[in-house]
Structure 1
Amino acid sequence: MNRRETLIDPETYQWVAATVVSVPGDERAAKVVIGEGYDFAFEFSTQYVRTQRGEAITTGRTQLRTFTVNFTGTAYFKTEVSPHGFNPTVEEVLPAKLAEFTGKTLGSESLKLNVPAYRTGSYRFQVYGQNTSARIRISNDTHVGSTFVSAEWEAQYHNRSRTS
């Protein structure tokens, strides 16, 4: 049998010794991935429009519209956006938006239960918040890995200052 890998429920395997694990069934034909679960989270820093010399422009208003994250070998992650920051009263009215990416495509060979689908690509999501107050995070709290290569953003910049 030619299997890629499978997910084994941690409640069904047993530690026989410090370096030996016994799992139910015959898993010799499958790829074995062992690791320790942890919560991964990355929060983006404040984004600024920059001059040709790379200096941040802090005047005017930068309204973030969208973010795009580029990933490779990734089966799952979440994007979390708080367009108005941490103000608790605003947060209750405008709760954090949450979008989940699973890498599964309907009708594809990889759409099988308990088999993570690792993909390479990009994922675009909305922000619609000012650059100085928006909170943008990507996270993963599952057993499958995430690898992020880069991120880019789109924004509207407007400056009403006048010189005399």
Structure 2
Amino acid sequence: FKFCHQDMYNREPKVFPAFPRHQKEGEEWMHDDQEWISIALSWSVIVVLVCVTYSLTIHRLHKGLKAYFKPVYDQPAKAIDQKFSEVAAICAYVPMKHDSDFIYPLLLCDISDIDEELIGWEDARLGYDVHNLSNDVVNDESKDAKEAKCFSIVRHWPPQLK
């Protein structure tokens, strides 16, 4: 009985790829056909590793150098010629607080200078004044809710009609 040591990857010194010439003298175990296949597969592994390493290196270099010569921003969509005020169903950001005790949110700003269609909801029965907290709070100095500075100021300037 003779031990055939075929583990060429974990032997010392390291041998990669597994060419038949790395077999120890007197311990050759490959036939001629096996040696030819081993050589062909070893060269194939080398070619694949070189191609993959080359393509990854070129890809990273191209990506890195491209940032210096080409802007990286791509416009996601083309601008359209429609104005904000021309959009039929659009809402503006109006500060409001949703509370489970109320059907509609509480408005946290003076809405007298904006188009009410921009609020995003409508209480047809009571209107917006009931839900507007700026009407309930009066500044001690001014005694006028419109001059109180504790709420956000929201304004809307509609375009001039031609």
Q: Please tell me the TM-score bracket, short chain as reference.
A: under 0.3
Structure with the largest fraction of strand: 1
TM-score normalized with structure 1 length: 0.18
Specify the structure having the higher radius of gyration (Cα): 2
Tell me: higher relative CO, structure 1 or 2? Use CA pairs within 8 A at least 6 residues apart. Answer: 1
Structure with the largest fraction of helix: 2
TM-score normalized with structure 2 length: 0.18
